């Protein structure tokens, strides 16, 4: 049986790669800013069976955010879309149906009405449209988590400050290193928490 979900843990389901790095950093920044705890599949050792680690990780989270804006045709090999993100959304749906009220889902997209055409079975989950820009993602995070108790930051300008600052940390600390790994993820979340504390202190 899946473990009880942690009330502030949020599973981030998104594309991995240079083009979507802004989304990765923005989600980390936004979630930490509003008092949530980002979780990612990169935290789980690769030695475990992938389907098991995905299911268990999502089950441990009270929320999951699924960005499907990068479901496009591959450039190499067969010209087919990658279904990993849609598959992870399906796992989250199964958990939400299995245990009503224990897991809540939010879908993100860049373009209005596109998700309804590519995945009509999620028509009951209207996507948050972020326009493929950092501020749009932060606005979506604020819209999803509107009533978090003791949220450290609630103004889009403050979330933007944390995001811009985390981008600088990313460049200075990791350079050209791949950040879609367990250690960089942990250090970026830690840095985001420190930045949120700095910003909160400035505002108090």
Which is more confidently placed, 70 or 190? Answer: 190
| pLDDT(121) > 70 | no
Inter-axis angle of helices 50-59 and 84-98, nearest 10: 50
Distance CA 151, CA 15 (A): 27
Q: What confidence tens digit (pLDDT) does each residue in 12-42 have?
A: 998 888 888 999 999 999 999 999 999 999 9
Q: Which residue has the tokens 């992870």?
A: 88
- Domain parsing of the chain, residue ranges: 6-203
Distance CA 159, CA 157 (A): 6
Q: What confidence tens digit (pLDDT) does each residue in 139-187 have?
A: 999 999 998 999 999 999 999 999 999 999 999 999 989 999 999 999 9
Share of the chain above pLDDT 70, in %: 84
Which is more confidently placed, 80 or 165? Answer: 165
Fold (CATH) for 6-203: Rossmann fold (3.40.50)
Distance CA 64, CA 74 (A): 25
Q: Which residues pair with 11 in a beta bridge?
A: 39, 64
Confidence of residue 80 (pLDDT cuts 50, 70, 90): low
| pLDDT(203) > 60 | yes
Distance, first Cα to last Cα, the chain: 44
């Amino acid at each position: 049986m899946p473990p009880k979900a942690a009330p502030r843990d949020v599973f981030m389901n998104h594309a991995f790669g240079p083009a979507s790095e802004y989304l990765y950093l923005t989600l980390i920044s936004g979630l930490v800013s509003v008092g949530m705890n980002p979780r990612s599949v990169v935290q789980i050792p690769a030695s475990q069976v992938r389907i098991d680690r995905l299911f268990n990780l999502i089950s441990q989270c009270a929320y999951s955010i699924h960005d499907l804006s990068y479901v496009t045709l591959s450039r190499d090999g067969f010209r087919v879309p990658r279904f990993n993100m849609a598959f992870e959304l399906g796992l989250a749906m199964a958990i939400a149906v299995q245990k009503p009220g224990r897991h809540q889902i939010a879908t993100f997209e860049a373009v209005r009405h596109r998700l309804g055409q590519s995945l009509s079975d999620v028509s009951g989950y209207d996507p948050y449209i972020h326009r493929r820009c950092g501020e749009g993602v932060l606005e979506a995070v604020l819209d999803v988590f509107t009533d978090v108790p003791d949220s450290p930051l609630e103004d889009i300008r403050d979330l933007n400050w944390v995001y811009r600052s985390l981008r600088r940390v990313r460049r200075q600390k990791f350079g050209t290193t791949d950040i879609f790994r367990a250690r960089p993820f942990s250090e970026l979340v830690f840095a985001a928490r420190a930045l949120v504390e700095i910003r909160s202190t400035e505002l108090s």
